Structure 1
Amino acid sequence: MEDLKIRRKCEEMIAYGYVALRQFPKFERHVLAAEIRGSMWGVLRLIVVCNKRYHKKTTMQDLDAELDLLRSQVRTAFALQYIDLKKYETWSRHIDEIGRMIGGWFKSLSRGAAGDA
């Protein structure tokens, strides 16, 4: 059930991200904004793939890395003043919540593997 919840949260984050990306300057919409969109969809893709795989560890690590990249891109957008403080805080909360869910998912996998041994 957790995997469905994380997917829904990721979709909410993508919807919010698209709203925030509309405020980017025109010359950045095809550069940093496109990279951020790609990272958001990459996170969702990895969540779906990880849910379908039997061995999830490497996919979970890829998911964690992609989320960290997204976090850095959003931080850069804020530093360059492409998004305001309120949008940055809200978007970061979405990303952090997904990160906590990934951590919990990873821990539950670790406990399951230890219980099997």
Structure 2
Amino acid sequence: MPELAIIQKTYDLIKWYVPILNRLPREHKFQLGNRIVETLYKFLESLIEAKYSRQKQAKLESLNVSLSILRYQTRLLFDFALFSTQRYEYVSRLIDDIGNDLGGWLKQLQKRTDETSRQPLPVNS
């Protein structure tokens, strides 16, 4: 069964990002680096949980917050001059792409919810 695109993109982001984070200077690796790694792993786990959950919307909305945190953590790496501009732009595009997929998934769920709530109730004769 093919994986959801957002899950595959997150997996690919982790494969690209974690080795870079593991090479950060010691004073940043064990603080910011580890936090980013934890955020990434938790994000992937939560996506997989949402895929199988009956309460997808609530899980996905909390993932929006996690993605925002990841954006700020990544920006800190750049602001601390631990990242080249090229790497920062690349990872930002990856994160934005995941964010677009997440937003699309949420819109799709909202549309389904709206359609379900608009259906007329059956009339008993």
After TM superposition, the score normalised by the length of structure 2 is 0.87
Residues in 1 aligned to 2:87 and 2:16: alpha-carbon distance in whole angstroms: 9
Measure how far apart 1:31 and its partner are.
Answer: 0.8
Residues in 2 aligned to 1:2 and 1:116: alpha-carbon distance in whole angstroms: 28
Q: Please identify runs of 4+ aligned residues in structure 1 that moved more than 2 A.
A: none
Q: Is 1:46–1:62's contact at 8 Å kept on the other side of the alignment?
A: no
Structure 2 unmatched runs, 5+: 118-125
> Cα RMSD between the aligned structures?
1.6
> Does the C-alpha gap of structure 1 residues 91 and 79 become closer, same or farther in structure 2, counting only changes over 3 Å?
same
Aligned residues: 117
After TM superposition, the score normalised by the length of structure 1 is 0.93
Q: Is 2:43–2:63's contact at 8 Å kept on the other side of the alignment?
A: yes
Identity level (%): 26
Structure exhibiting the larger radius of gyration computed from Cα positions: 2
Which aligned pairs between 1:1-117 and structure 2 lie closer than 5 A?
4-117=4-117
Structure 1 unmatched runs, 5+: none
Q: Is 2:23–2:29's contact at 8 Å kept on the other side of the alignment?
A: no
